[in-house]
Amino acid sequence: MRQARVKRELIINASALEVRVALLEDRALTEFMVERNLVRGLAGNIYKGKVTRVLPGMQAAFVDIGLEKAGFLHVSDFLDEVGEFGSLVEDIAEDELDTELAEDPPADISWEEGPGPDGVDLEEEPAAATPAKNRRRGARRSRLPIEQQLKRNQEIIVQIAKEPIGTKGARLTSFVSLPGRHLVYMPTTNHLGISRRIESAEERNRLRTIVTEMRPPQGGFIVRTACEGVSKREIQQDIAFLTRLWADVVKRAESQPPATLLNADLDLALRAIRDLFSSDVERLWCDHPPTFERLTQFVQQYMPRLRARLSAYEGPEPIFDHFGIEPQLQRALERKVWLKSGGYLVFDQAEALTAIDVNTGRFVGKRNQEETIFKTNLEAVEEVANQLRLRNIGGIIIVDFIDMTKEANRKRVSEALSHALKRDKARTSMLKISELGLVQMTRKRTRDSLEALLTEQCPQCEGRRVVKSIPTLTADVLRGIQREVSRRNHGGMLLVRLNPDLARYLYGPGFPALEELEQRFDVKIVLKSKEELEPGVFEVSQAPAAA
């Protein structure tokens, strides 16, 4: 039986305050990203850094790249053959983790278990997940100790592989990758990889031939999924753009002082276009005219075949309300997630791991207890996989399924979870389900979780629970004001009473977004602090002309 095609839509909500991107599959939220305009993402940025400390005991170094905290560079992430101004890739864009090499690695490199230099699986991943602290994933070869390769005050080119998370600084690598629309360029390797998601052998051979003919003498490439079906000319343009970009980076590194940004990755809206907007996305919606214009230009230049799928959203209600995204976001922040059957999941996140507990809840079944438990666990499998992806939970994860007495049922639940996790772009590894119903797994952590992005520790309860942050609440209030304005006639003056912290933020960093709202709806908005109002609660009324 042929599987029904999933309807995929990309929704971009942009304002002067923040950009939010949601990927919907049959109107279900599967991926969410947010970037505040005052705090841009750092992953993928390339810097000229200066080594501040070398730690032989940890085989690592700290590198000053101009951020608040020095970056962390492990010996396995440093390519010593290239010297001070050369680099390679450690982990390329997350959506290209499933790739295979088109040629074998050089004989002088010994590969350990795990992915190769571009996230390429050179050998089959082990069935059991080994804690990351107990093994070096992706070690490139037997190498000299770090104290023989790096010294204090040495200047090197590095790229941020992982964003600073919590109290930890950025994870750095000298294995640089430059993602384009169709290819990922690796300046100092001659490997050629092709995404396994391109299934046609004929198409794979065509792409391999084209890239082999056109690539420069120095440099390797990963052929991305988006490259499927594109013309030779488009591939040539991507190669030319990426090689020029790397040449510019090297040139700037030669003239700029240490702790200098050499190349910044695209902003979130354009990254979403580059990495998520492909032929299987039926429609892209954007509600912000200036951003929509930028997206249109980008698509026209790099993927003109998809231009007809761009749509400007002009509805009166907020775009995330229109597509039913806000309730799904709220659900992804809750500790308890209900299943359709009446069962539920409980998420508890600690510093080192996340525990997910499965419960039958209101589901009592029809036949016997074993069948009820089995059906609840099977339903939970899909929701666990979806929530891990949506919440962007990384690190060690323990899933506590309800105990099943039959070995066959445990096996089916374990297989179903393994299958569901294949849709996740982040690298995951899991052990088989135990007799107690426990599944131990790991999921690659590259950026903050959804909870870390949208919430902060509550000062009233000393951090035992979380509340929405001021920027998040301010954005919620602006959308609430938009709803009120859309119900009224344009023009006039509105008085908005709200919490003093939010009022201060709106008259400060959030003022451009407030001003934009006034211009869009031809209305004057007057803010008034009201101490007794909780953050996120506001009152809107018609203001007198003298207000």
State the architecture of 46-264 in CATH terms.
Answer: Beta Barrel (2.40)
Residue pLDDT, tens place only, 317-349: 999 999 999 999 999 999 999 998 889 999 998
What is the Cα–Cα distance from 450 to 485, expressed in whole angstroms?
A: 29
> How far lies 315's CA from each of 286, 288, 417, 475, 496, in Å?
11, 11, 39, 18, 23
Q: Is the pLDDT of residue 525 over 50?
A: yes
Question: pLDDT value at position 491?
Answer: 66
Q: What would the DSSP string read from start to end of 31-74?
A: EEEEEETTB---TT-EEEEEEEEEETTTTEEEEE-SSSS-EEEE
Please state the rounded mean pLDDT for residues 226-235. 87
* DSSP strand pairing (260-263 vs 455-457): unpaired
Question: pLDDT value at position 537?
Answer: 84
Q: Is the pLDDT of residue 140 over 70?
A: no
Tokens for 449, please give them: 């979780």
Please state the rounded mean pLDDT for residues 368-373. 86
Tokens for 356, please give them: 């997910």
User: Which CATH superfamily groups domain 8-39+270-326?
Assistant: eRF1 domain 2 (3.30.420.60)
- Which of 530, 535, 471 has its CA nearest to residue 495? 530
Tokens for 253, please give them: 């590194």
CATH of domain 469-542: 3.40.1260.20
Assign 533 a pLDDT band (cuts: 50, 70, 90): confident
- How many Cβ atoms from other residues are within 10 Å of residue 542's Cβ? 10
What is the Cα–Cα distance from 87 to 175, expressed in whole angstroms?
A: 5
Mean pLDDT over each residue of the chain, to the nearest integer = 82
Question: pLDDT value at position 4?
Answer: 63
The DSSP call for residue 480 is: H
Please state the rounded mean pLDDT for residues 306-321. 94
The DSSP call for residue 176 is: -
Residue pLDDT, tens place only, 86-123: 333 333 333 443 333 333 333 222 222 233 333 333 22
> How far lies 78's CA from each of 65, 72, 499, in Å?
15, 11, 49
- Which of 276, 277, 265, 285 has its CA nearest to residue 14? 285
Q: Where are the domains of the chain?
A: 8-39+270-326, 46-264, 334-451, 469-542
The percent helix, strand, coil of the chain (3-state, each to 5) is 35, 25, 40
Assign 461 a pLDDT band (cuts: 50, 70, 90): low
> How far lies 237's CA from each of 203, 230, 272, in Å?
19, 11, 20
Question: pLDDT value at position 366?
Answer: 66
Q: Name which of 171-180, 212-221, 444-453 the model is least confident about.
A: 444-453
Question: pLDDT value at position 463?
Answer: 64
Is there a shared CATH topology between the 8-39+270-326 domain and the 469-542 domain? no
> Between residues 3 and 177, which one has the greater pLDDT?
177
Please state the rounded mean pLDDT for residues 472-501. 85
